[in-house]
Structure 1
Amino acid sequence: MYMDLPPWILIALILVGAWAVLVALNKRGTLSKHNLEVSGPLLLWRTNYGKGTIRFIAHRFRPLWKKVGVICIVISTVTMVFTAVMIIAQAILIIRTPEVIPPDVGAGEMILLPGLALPLTYGLVALIIAIVVHEFSHGILSEAEGMNIKSLGLGVLVALPLAFVEPDEEGIKNASSRSKMKMFAAGPAANILVFVISFLVFTQILLPMFAPNAEGIGISETIEGFPAADAGMTGGEIITHVGESGVKGIEDFRGKMAEFSPGDVVEIQTNKDAYTIELGVHPDDPGRAFLGVHLFPVTEFYAGLMHPIGFILPQVGTMLPLLSPDFFGAGLVHRDVVLIALQLVFWVGLLNFWLGAINMLPAKPFDGGHLMGEYVKMLIQRLGSRDEKVANNISNWVSVLFILIYLGPILLIVMT
């Protein structure tokens, strides 16, 4: 009977069963003997290991971290504005033009954090790196600003790994707004820094090793019985010229081919050979000339990988294995190892970007919500009031607003 259930239901049943066992053990006090605790969907393991290292680094370079903290506030504030504008724009787009959502799209595909679409191995490694960087940075700035670390540890949110640094609550309460802002901003800013470093390594060091073997249009395969195959052209060649004209993209190639008619003889130059070919008749349009090849956009594909926007889209990461030696990186030594490094750097960069961006959502309990709360307190004080309840109420309502804006499109998809 259970074998007939969808895989996701089986996984959900296993997780619920495992969590029920953990909750029971937590109530009996069995988990606490091993510094474990179940809190809602969280399984936490607290430890003092690592506190000394964080404290040493924080106090050894304290003047530097205080200056770095100011930079973190700037970076995180810019990121918070970016995230807020992005989710507002997304919500407006979906409300005004709901037809932009394909009818078969899943709610998970609309969630701003694209981690749900990550490959298992690269995704897990990248997620661990992003979380450690995030929490370690929180810990250093917390200690540097006089908010001692109470504990740190590892955990699991349902099935996702996490790490945490827990500052002393009394220390946070007594700290200045500026100090708290530095601490809240440190984690996301560190993630954005890792993203920038990853992007530079990806585009300036690793990806150039996979530069196109020639500028033009790749032939993924030839079609039997048509001119290209009859002339001896094979998959893996790159068309660089049609007649005397160079070609760079698919549309460029199609434009050149549109100048010819069936029966015309044309010179086709590839990166491997030159061919004199009599063009055939297009099977779907007798009036069009036909070469008989399936094309791959070599130059355009590589340019897309180099574009900064592509570095934050998980769909781009899934296309990296398409860097075939037929078209890219001819003669590259240890190709498989370099390709693994390329993919790992991509996913590390992507995960750090989105972890930093989502954490700067101006809504509690995200870091951005806490940072926004401190900004509200400062604004209220400048207006002549020191009533923290007013500031807390405003920041809480802003948090509710942005959570609704964030979840609204997802709920709309689920309901429709």
Structure 2
Amino acid sequence: MSFQEYLSTLIPLIVFLALWGLIVLAYYALGLKRVGFDLKPYLLLFWRIKSLERILVRVSLRRRVSWLTVFDIGVAMGVGMMLYTVYFLVRNLLNLALRSGVFIEVAPPVPGLLYPWEHLPHVILALSITIFIHELAHGIALKMDGIPIKSMGVFLFTILPGGFVEPDEGVLVKSKAAIKLRVFAAGSFLNMVSFFIVLLIVLTTFQPAGALIVEVIEQSPAEAAGIEKWSVIYAINNIPIRGVDDLVRVLGSFKPRDTVMVNFIRPNGVYDSVTVILKEGLSGRAFLGVRISDFQRFIIGDLPYPIMFQLQFFVFWLIVILQSVALFNMLPLPVFDGGSFVRTIIDSAFKYRKGWARITYLAISNFCVILLLTNILATMWVWGWK
């Protein structure tokens, strides 16, 4: 590794430390604690905003009957999402063990696990929006049912911004089961609704426009021809390529050692064409040497390629994280809303048998912990680190 390459790896760390140095300096120098800020030693900054609660009261009480109906539907969906997530995790492991279907990777959105570091800004922005929507739903559900909120606002944890709602736990615990179920299911429910809205927007405003190269295999024809990662192939031998299926079909019509003309857009937005001599792959078919994904453009109008490229990754991660948080948050684990949700149901079912309620909850939650961890470990074993 050259000195410049080594220095480039340190730049994100230097920027991160400088940012938090300025935050700490401003916190103490400007006395930000007086206006609702709270700085924790583990790189966590809270800003409690009292005006947000007043806005939340107006939103939640203006159409209370409508919100009650919406969040009652959310309770039913919460049960469905919980059962589906457990089914998905069990089925996923069976697909891997029996080789009877596709194994889908399951892992937290941590750079280096399932996605490269280049995606980190998109993941942070998508995760921040998801958290804000999630906490907003909890806040509306709390105020709608008259549960006091101690504080609410925004936070910055290391590099992740988001929102938070801190309810009066004493009042919430003593509330009726129906109220608690609405509160616990609200966040995942609104995340799932947001997922469908974003998905609908994508399906109605985007169209396939090429094959996005997410990896160039070493010593491959693509690498030899100078095709870069994050380029978009839009034609081969003047045959239009609209997505992954088109590229696979067109390459399948050639033989190893055939020469083809690849038309593509480089990551900087420059259109280019190169001649590539295809090699023989492991299957005996023509091999270009790229891993690809569908590339999308707007149906009406367009944006410059570098902007469209970044927008596509952001929208992709927003869809993935909205759906993932909605589903996995409903797993009956102690740290998730699903844990409190299931505990409320079990306590109501075993109202006069507290011992049985505790045993049942521990059995269900421990099973789900093992199930989730096994899927994550299996993902690391199958896919490895990026």
Larger-gyration structure (1/2): 1
* 2:68 aligns with one of 41, 66, 71: 66
| Conservation of the 8 A alpha-carbon contact between 1:94 and 1:409 | no
Q: Pairwise mapping of residues 244-393 of structure 1 onto structure 2 (< 5 A)?
A: 249=246, 284=257, 290=258, 292-293=260-261, 319=293, 322=295, 332-336=301-305, 341-381=311-351, 386-393=352-359
Report 1:144-293 matches (<5 A).
144-207=144-207, 210=209, 237-238=238-239, 249=246, 284=257, 290=258, 292-293=260-261
Distance 1:354 1:200 in 2: 17
Deviations, residues 159-209 of structure 1 (Å, cap 9, x unaligned) = 43332111111220221111111111111111111110111110112337x
Three-state SS of the structure 1 residue aligned to 2:207 is: helix
Contact 2:334 2:340 in 1 (8 A): yes
Q: Distance in 1 between matches of 2:252 and 2:37?
A: 68
For structure 2, list consecutive stretches of 5 or more residues without a partner in the other structure: 212-220, 226-234, 265-291
Question: What is the rounded CA distance, in whole Å, between the counterparts of 1:84 and 1:39 in structure 2?
Answer: 37
Aligned pair partner of 1:83 in 82, 85, 100: 85
User: Does structure 2 conserve the Cα–Cα contact (< 8 Å) formed by 1:362 and 1:371?
Assistant: yes
Match of 1:407 in 2: 373
Quick check: 1:398 aligned with 2:364? yes
Is the CA contact (8 Å cut-off) linking 1:211 and 1:329 kept in structure 2?
A: no
* Residue 299 of structure 1: aligned partner: none
Sort the Cα spacing of 1:136 and 1:253 in 2 relative to 1 into closer, same or farther, 3 A: closer
Q: Is the 8 A contact 1:202 1:342 kept in 2?
A: no
CA contact (8 A) 1:206 1:338 kept: no
2:38 to 36, 58, 71: 36
Cα contact 2:107–2:376 (8 A) shared by 1: no
- Cα 1:176–1:372 shift into 2, 3 Å: same
Q: Is the 8 A contact 1:132 1:163 kept in 2?
A: yes
What is the CA–CA distance in structure 1 between the aligned matches of 2:180 and 2:364, rounded to whole Å?
19
Gaps of 5+ in 1: 102-108, 213-219, 225-233, 241-247, 258-281, 285-289, 297-317
Structure 2 counterpart of 1:112, one-letter code: A
- Residue 161 of structure 2 aligns to a residue in which SS? strand
Q: Deviations over 1:274-333 (max 9, x none)?
A: xxxxxxxx665xxxxx5644599xxxxxxxxxxxxxxxxxxxxx946x45xxxx779945
- CA gap 1:126/1:37 in 2 versus in 1, 3 angstroms: same
- 1:112 counterpart residue number: 107
1:238 deviation in Å? 1.9
| Shift in alpha-carbon separation, 1:331–1:393, aligned structure 2, 3 A | closer
Cα displacement (A) at 1:31: 8.6
**Conserved? CA contact 1:80–1:361, under 8 Å:** yes
Q: Secondary structure at the match of 2:206?
A: helix
Shift of residue 338, structure 1, vs aligned partner? 5.9
Find the residue that maps to 1:194 and give its secondary structure: helix
* 1:361 to 1:158, Cα distance in 2 relative to 1, 3 A: farther
Letter in 1 for 2:171: G
- Classify the secondary structure of the residue corresponding to 2:136: helix
Equivalent residues of 1:198, 1:346 under 8 A apart: no
Residues 391 and 341 (structure 1), Cα distance of their counterparts in 2 relative to 1, 3 Å cut? same
The alpha carbon displacement at 1:135 in A equals 0.3
* Higher mean C-alpha displacement, 179-188 vs 331-340: 331-340
| TM-fit CA distance, 1:125 | 2.4
Q: Could you tell me whether the CA contact under 8 Å between 2:138 and 2:165 is conserved in 1?
A: yes
Shift of 1:251: 6.5
Shift of 1:405: 2.2
Shift of 1:58: 0.9
Asked whether the equivalents of residues 207 and 298 of structure 2 are also in contact (C-alpha less than 8 Å), the reply is no
Match of 1:122 in 2: 122
C-alpha distance in 1 between matches for 2:94 and 2:44: 33
Give the Cα separation in 2 of the matches to 1:330 and 1:39: 48
2: distance between equivalents of 1:45 and 1:171?
Answer: 24
The TM-score normalised by the length of structure 2 is: 0.64
Shift of 1:122: 2.8
Equivalent residue, structure 2, for 1:301: none
1:376 partner amino acid: I
**For each residue in 1:71-103, what CA deviation from the matched residue of structure 2 results, as whole angstroms up to 9, or x when unmatched?**
111222221122222223344555667xx99xx
Per-residue deviation, 1:343: 4.6
Evaluate the alpha carbon distance shift between residue 255 and residue 191 of structure 1 in structure 2; reply closer, same or farther with a 3 A threshold.
closer
Q: Residues 142, 392 of structure 1: CA spacing in aligned structure 2 closer, same or farther, 3 A cutoff?
A: farther
Alignment length (residue pairs): 313
CA 319–254 in structure 1, closer or farther in 2 if over 3 Å, else same: closer
Aligned-pair identity in percent equals: 22
Cα gap change, 1:56/1:358 in structure 2, threshold over 3 Å: closer, same or farther? same
Once the 2 structures are TM-superposed, how far is the Cα of residue 112 of structure 1 from its aligned partner? 3.0
Residues 112 and 81 of structure 1, relative CA distance in 2, 3 Å threshold: farther
Who is 1:300 aligned against? Answer: none
Q: CA distance change for structure 1 residues 407 and 203 in 2, over 3 Å: closer, same or farther?
A: same
The structural deviation recorded for 1:46 is 3.3
State the TM-score, normalized to the length of structure 1: 0.60
The C-alpha deviation readout for 1:7-42, integer Å capped at 9, x for no partner, is: 59x959x88xx79x98xx99xxx9966541538785
Q: Structure 1 CA distance, aligned partners of 2:359 and 2:178? A: 20
Distance 1:390 1:203, change over 3 A: same
Partner Cα distance (2:172, 2:326) in 1: 22
